[in-house]
Structures are given as structure tokens and as C-alpha cells.
Amino acid sequence: MKNINKVSVFGCLLAVLLFAVSCNQDFLDTRPLDKISSDATWSDAALAEAYVFGVYSFLEYGGFEEYGLSSYSDEALYTHSGRPIPPVNEGTESPTNLAYMSPSYEWGNMYLAIREANIALQELPGATIDEAVKNRLTGEIHFLRAYYYQQLLRFYGGVPIIDRPYGLGEDYSISRNSYADVVDFIVADLDKAATMLEGISRTSGRATTLAALALKARVLMYAASDLHDASKVSGDMAGETFAYAGGQEGRWQTAKTAAKAALDAGSGYKLDLGGPVSAEEGQANYIALAMGGGSASADPAGGEDMIFDRSATIDFTQESNWPLGGLHNGINNGPNGYHNWAGNTPIQQLVDDYEMLDGSRFDWDNPDHATTPYENRDPRFYGTVLYDGADWKPRPSDVAALDPANQIQSGAYDNGAGGLINGIDTRESAIENWNGSRTAYYSRKFTDPDPSVQDNLSSGQAIPYPFLRYTEVVLNYVETLLETGDEATARDWLNRIRFRAGMPAIDDSGAALVERYRNERRIELAYEEHRYHDARRWLIAPETLGRGAEAMNVRATLKPGQSPHVPYRYDPEVYDYSYEVFINTDVETRTWLDRMYYRPISRDEVQRNASLAQNPGY
């Protein structure tokens, strides 16, 4: 474990001092700038709030980090070689060879966050501040502690429960609690948060009663899943650190009750439609969700989807070399032909899982599908993926002459003289080819579609990252309905989501309905850090996360009698396009080992705590 006794409340307060500056200018005029006493913190509402904002900061940048959790799943392939991604996907990760671990779930950082939360919960009861402020801050801290324990639980299994700040000279050795113990601890924190935050309206980036209910529903649904049932797993994973003994029926009923409570506490965004909207409106709805979660203020009739987000506000931004404008998808994952980095690019398996507009499955054996694979697809596809020929923004000034049509160029095109022109968004491009996609796709979700907003660090794209949104609550509820035998209600809620996206109703039942639900969840929540966890808890990781990452090879040859466009633009009247799917092994060769259901704990953490057991297989 982290040597947590060395982290003091004073250090944290110094880290958040800048927050207090804007809140309480008088403080700067009367007290030393290099010291803040504990008494001062908990007797000043602005300082107490600043401390709590410091606990929020452990949320980091959510899913907008350069190394996305999408690339640990069958959503994306990380483009750049020599980076700390392959050890997870190739099964070589170990306690001494750790792949990248986001600070938002890394063991030591989460326990640091939990320590800061424990300090607040120790001090807030005696704080001499307004009771309403104290009550809200206490509720928020209970939520945050629960959230950080939930992160540990998802990645590592049962972990040591620490509910107070340790003092100097204490024995820091502590064993791991059972999975059930940690779930119960999280639920208790969330119940307290829900009660204490009752009646407080949502402020971007801050916890609410609905956030507590939604997180509780997620935690209980995970707890009911196959990965955590002793009868469904074997070996050490069947032990109490990772699984429950006995049947799942009761756990699914508990999860359903929690999901229904969260469902009833919100309303969602455009989930009351009687039929599918047009494809154009469906795409616009999905983009609206990605830009801010479906805002009631922007569309009062539409409702609200965002529940808890990584806010683009200075209150919760950690000090680093990343400006606020870095909080977006475009720079990390956008096309190199726009001077972006193409970090986590969609793989073909994700693309293929988008249905046709009529609700049928895409099929490479269907000649019409194979000839024009990007036509007449689920409208959410066009709000998530950039593909060869997709219309996009105006190019930067130094690239504009190569692409006046403003279309993604991720293939190679006949130049009319026996050679090929490499698209400017390929790895053979004249524009930053080291940032070119290896899959011929780019992520479009979470990127501002405004043509005047360039995808670079100085653009100021302030897009919130959705930790919890109402659509996830709906999908969680659907899963609990399926597991408890209520297919009719499950179909109704799935169709509500589909209607908003411009997709037709479904009428599946049995195993087909379960598969339809899982695919719907995959599509709706793409790039929101769910697929990695879903594939594991459903025990389908070997055939999903462990399969090779498929990519696309696009080639355009001139039709007889046609001349090439100079500069090139996508034109099926002039070119015949071919599409070849292949497995890309340039940066990694994916496999699956059952130990990969959990991440290893670093050797340093195990050596610090003689009572800490390593995860199975490591």
C-alpha cells in the first residue's frame, strides 16, 4: 500500500490554495501564504469547499486521457508504438511490468484520494461553517469515496477498506476485504450521499442524489454479474475476494430495485418518443449527448441525460501542463491530417457492430454492404466514427490546398498514371504520418463539430466527460430486467433509446434479446469506458477483448474513361472503391489469459504491505 502517513492535510490544502484565492480574497490579506492550519480550513466555508474540490481532482480527465481504456478493449487500437499499452492486451503485464494505469484507478493514487476523503469526513462534523454547506460537502465526500472504491473494485477485485486517516506510527499492514464487503461499504456511502444531497440541483462536475443512486445501481449490477458469481468462475477467482457464493437471483433483484430507483429519480433526454426520429435527427441527438449529455437548458422539452461529469471548470482541474482546452477527444484521437494524434482509433469489429439503418446486421457477405460499407448505417455510427470519405471540418490552413472538399482521406487512390496517391490521413501521408491511424478510422465522438473550432490544444474545446449519464441507468435497468425475466419492459426501454437515435423498434426475445441488448450498450456507450468492464463481467473477454484488432485497407481505382480528381476527393462516380479487412499486428498481437480479468497490483505496493495478497496469476 501507499505510505499514506506521509501525506498530510496541510499538503493537500497547499495544493488547493489557488482555488481559495478566488473565493476569499480577504484571507490573502490577513494570513501567511505558505501555511494553512487545519482549524482555519474547517472554519472557513471557502477553504472547506476548496479542500473538497481537491478531492474531486482525483477524477483526473476522465476518458479524455491520451491512453484510452477503449484501447484495452475491442473498441480501439492504440496507434503509437513503444507506449505502455501492449502488456495488457498481449497478456504480459506483471507486478514488475505494469502497462499504463490511469491515475483515475491506479492503486496508490486511489488510496491517496480515499485518504483525503477520510480526512474530510473526520473534520467536517466539527467544522464551524454553515450547516447547509457542511451537509452538502459531507454528502459529496461520501459520494467521492464511494466512487474511488468503485474504481478499485472494478479493476482489482476486493481491496482493503480504510475508513479513517491513519496517524503517524500506526501499523499500515492490512488485508484485502471480500468483494461483498467492499460492495456493502460503497453502497452505505452512496446511501448517505443520496440522503445528504437531497434537493440539491445539479451543478456541472458535482455530485447529486441522482449521481449517488446511479452509481449504486452500477455497483450492484456489476456485483450480480457472472464475473462475481462463484459458480461461473474457477480457481482463485471463485474466492470471496472476487466473487459471491450462492445464487445470483437475489443480487439481480437488488440491482433491479436500485436501477429503478435511479430511473425514477431522473427523466433522460428524448426518451419519450413514440417512434424513431429521422436518421438526421438521430445523428444530431447522439452528437448533442456527446457534447454535453443532453441539456435541459438547451432543450427544455428534451430532458437531461448528464448525471455526473468531468466538468470543464477550473475548480476541478489539476495543475499540470495540460490547459483546460485539452479536455477533449479531438487532439488525442483525431486525424493526423488535422495535426491531431490519432491515439485510440476505432477497430473494424466496432465498426461492423453498427447495424444497418433498417435494424438488420451488417454483413460483409452481402454484396451491397461490402460495396458501400459506410452507407445506411445506424446514425450513431456517423456521430462516433470518422471513415474514408466522411465529411469533416475545414482543414488547417497549411493542409487546405490538399483537401478543399474537407473529407477524411484514409485510403490510397489511383493517380491515373499507374500509381497511388496516399490519403492525407494515412500513415503514408505528407502530414505527420507518424500520427496516422493504423485502422483507417478515427474517433469522432466527443469532438466539437463546429467548423470554426480546430482540434488542437489552444482551441478551448470544453466538452464534459460523462462518468454517469441517464442512458447508462436505462441500460443498467434493462440488463436487470433481462436477468429477472421481464423482457417486455426491457424491450420498451431499449426501443426508447433506439427511437432517439433514429433506429427501428426490436422484437427479439430470449438469447437474441440479450445479444441485442449487449450490442446496443456497446454502440450507445462507445468510448465511455464501459466495454472493457462489460466484456469482463459478462465473461466474454476471450472472444472479444482477446481477438485480433481488425483494420481496413481502402483502395480506389479509376473507372474506365475517368480521370483522377486533383486534388483528390471522394467520388464513387469516378472511382471504384474496395475494402479489405485485415488484422493489424504492427504494435501488438492480442491474446487472452484469464488472469487478465483483473489488473496486477504493483510489486512496490505488495512489498509495503506484508498482508496484501496479489491478484491471481501474477
DSSP state of 423: P
Question: What's the grid cell of residue 337?
Answer: 491530417
pLDDT for 290 equals 93
Residue 543 within a domain = no
Q: Which segments of 53-97 are extended strands (E)?
A: 76-78
Mean pLDDT of 136-149: 98
pLDDT for 3 equals 38
What CATH number does residue 158 fall under? 1.25.40.890
**Domain limit, last residue, from 172, 197, 222:** 197
pLDDT at 235 over 60: yes
DSSP state of 551: E
pLDDT at 529 over 50: yes
Confidence label for 490 from pLDDT (cuts 50, 70 and 90): very high
Contact 196, 188 (CB under 8 A): no
Residue 511 within a domain = no
pLDDT for 570 equals 98
Q: How many residues does the chain have?
A: 618
Query: Using one digit for the tens of pLDDT, what is the confidence trace for 164-220?
Result: 999 888 888 999 999 999 999 999 999 999 999 999 999 889 999 999 999 999 999
pLDDT at 443 over 60: yes
DSSP string, 256-269: HHHHHHHHHH--EE
CA distance 291 to 310: 12
Residue 389 within a domain = yes
Lowest-pLDDT choice from 298-302, 337-341, 575-579: 298-302
**Crossing angle of helices 131-156/45-56, nearest 10°?**
10
pLDDT at 326 over 50: no
CA distance 277 to 273: 8
CA distance 549 to 585: 8
Query: Using one digit for the tens of pLDDT, what is the confidence trace for 97-115?
Result: 999 999 999 999 999 999 9
pLDDT for 312 equals 57
Mean pLDDT of 595-610: 96
Domain containing 160 equals: 1-65+102-197
Question: What's the grid cell of residue 405?
Answer: 472538399
Question: What's the grid cell of residue 204?
Answer: 456541472
Residue 21 within a domain = yes
pLDDT for 300 equals 53
CA distance 24 to 29: 10
CA distance 397 to 409: 17
Residue 576 within a domain = yes
Average of per-residue pLDDT values in the chain: 90
pLDDT for 482 equals 98
Query: Using one digit for the tens of pLDDT, what is the confidence trace for 41-99?
Result: 999 999 999 999 999 999 988 888 889 999 999 999 999 999 999 999 999 999 999 99
Which carries the bigger pLDDT value, residue 16 or residue 287?
287
CA distance 177 to 12: 28
Neighbours of 281 (CB within 10 A): 16
Which helix (H) or strand (E) segment holds residue 133: the answer is: helix 131-156
Q: Based on the structure, what is the number of domains in the chain? A: 2
**Crossing angle of helices 470-483/510-524, nearest 10°?**
160
**Domain limit, last residue, from 141, 172, 197:** 197
Q: On the CB side of 337, how many CA atoms lie within 13 Å of its CA?
A: 31
Q: Which of 55, 43, 72, 73 is nearest to 13 (CA)?
A: 55
**Strand duo 385-386 + 442-443: pairing:** antiparallel
Which helix (H) or strand (E) segment holds residue 459: the answer is: none
**Strand duo 575-583 + 420-422: pairing:** unpaired
CA distance 152 to 569: 48
Which helix (H) or strand (E) segment holds residue 440: the answer is: none
Query: What is the separation, in whole angstroms, between the first and last Cα of the chain?
Result: 17
Residue 54 within a domain = yes
Query: Using one digit for the tens of pLDDT, what is the confidence trace for 15-29?
Result: 433 333 334 433 333
Residue 491 within a domain = no
Q: Cα 394 from chain centroid?
A: 28
pLDDT at 319 over 50: no
Which residues sit opposite 583 in a β-bridge?
550
pLDDT at 459 over 90: no
CA distance 380 to 278: 12
pLDDT for 461 equals 67
Whether pTM exceeds 0.85: yes
pLDDT at 320 over 70: no
Neighbours of 578 (CB within 10 A): 13
Phi-psi region of 446 (alpha: psi -120 to 50; beta: other; left: phi over 0): left
Residue 468 within a domain = no
567: cis peptide before it, omega within 30°? yes
